Every structure is written in C-alpha cells, then in structure tokens.
Amino acid sequence: MSLNANSADVAFTFKGGMLPMTVMELTSADPERIRRQLAGKLSQSPAFFQHTPVVLSVEKLDEPHLALERICAVCRDHKLLPVAVRGGAEPIRQSAWALGLGWFAPVEEGRARALESVAPFVEPEEDVNASAVSDVAATRLYRGTVRSGQQVSASEGDLIVIGAVNAGAEVLAAGSIHVYGALRGRALAGIHGNTNAGIYCRELEAELLSVAGNYKRLEDIDSQLLGRAAEVHFIKEQLDIKPLG
C-alpha cells in the first residue's frame, strides 16, 4: 500500500507558522478587577477589541487554582478571544484543556526545553566568531514595499526592510526591525519575548507597534513623533518611542 495519499483525498496539511499573538499578562486573578481594567482599555482603544485572540499568561500569579472560566468569560464580554494559557500549576493546565484552550509552558521552562532538544547537536565549546556569523545569517533583508495584506517575517533574527511598509501590511521579527522608509502598517519585534529588540524607521505612521508583546496603537503615539524618523524600545515596563538620531 502506498504511503502517498492521493491529493484528492487530502483535506488539510500541518504547517509550522509564526503568527502574532497578544499576551495578556495577569497580575490579578480577580475577574472583577480584570473586568474594570478591560472596560477602561476598551474605551481607549476600541479598534483593538475586535475579536483579538489572546494568550492568558499566569506566570506572575502564585496561585495553584484560578477562576479561569470566569476570566475567559470576562475577556469574551470585551471582544477578546482567549485561545491558550501560559504557565501555571497542573490544575490550571487541566482547567485550560477542559475549556478547550491550549497550554504553553512558562517562558523560561519553554526555553530550557528548546535548548535540551538541540543539545545533542551542539558542540561543547562554541566558537564566538561562529555565533556572530550565525546571528548575521539569521538577519533577513527584504527589498521593496511590503504591501497591504502582506506579511514579511524574520523568525530567528532581525528584519531589514529597504522600502516602505504600507497600511494593512505586517512585519515581524524575533529580533529588531529596521524600516528604511515609511512604516504605516504593523511592526512586531521580539516576537519570542526578546525585550532588547527595537523598531527603527525613517517615517513613523504605524498602525501598531509591539516589542515582546507590549504594544501601542497609532492613537496612543505622540502626534509630534508621527511622520518623523523614530526608534522604539521596551523600557521600564512600557514602550518608549523617541526621535531617531
């Protein structure tokens, strides 16, 4: 019997993907406190709360049990769609699965597992120069305009765009993003949690800026910075945007 399925019988294929995802980092397990804050956020940025998928991070909560179902209901009441939970003890993981949500290991644990998985293939002593070459090789250079509806990403390093990023377009990078033109779409740097990543552009008009999951929308950006060369970093638990140069 052939292992190759007839193409007419194939209903789907599995593919690795790198989709942008907003992380909602909980510092309180009280559904009513969460409700009040979400109501305030909704009044500030109603466009963001349009069935946006979110991952609920409970890594900062020292509680083995959560009213996870109530928290998810609060999110849905405000047009956010919880799709997974990150972190938490075994009861939280079981609750997530019972609610049809995914579950991710805490950030540090996930990194450790990734390192363990590649450990057998890494030499005990890695050459420093080789590491530098690897970092450069991971950088992606894109020449041309990133058009509306298009997504350009660098899954392992920096992304350099020699051109503009149009409204409705999206650029993502594990490291920093450099746009040698107008940035009018969405730019998400440090998508794997790298808080040292930054965003640099020649003309700032971005719909959304994000570094390591921390974001600002166009309406949240100081109007004096719009249309100017700018740089974006994550400093003191918030995005810092300032003129470039």
Domain extents for the chain? 22-115, 138-243
Enumerate long-range contacts of 91-94, CB under 8 Å, 24 or more apart. 91/64, 91/65, 92/58, 92/64, 92/65, 92/66, 92/68
Rounded Cα distance between 96 and 227, Å, is 44
Identity of the residue numbered 131: S
DSSP state letters, 49-70: -SSEEEEEE-TT---S---HHH
Contact in structure between 190 and 175 (CB atoms under 8 Å): yes
Question: 22-115 has which fold?
Answer: Alpha-Beta Plaits (3.30.70)
Task: State the Rg of the chain over Cα.
Answer: 20
Q: Say which CATH architecture domain 138-243 belongs to.
A: 3 Solenoid (2.160)
Report whether pLDDT(146) > 90: yes
Higher pLDDT, 215 or 5: 215
- 3-state DSSP assignment of residue 6: coil
Is the per-residue pLDDT at 81 higher than 50?
Answer: yes
Q: Is pLDDT of 128 > 60? A: no
pTM over 0.85: no
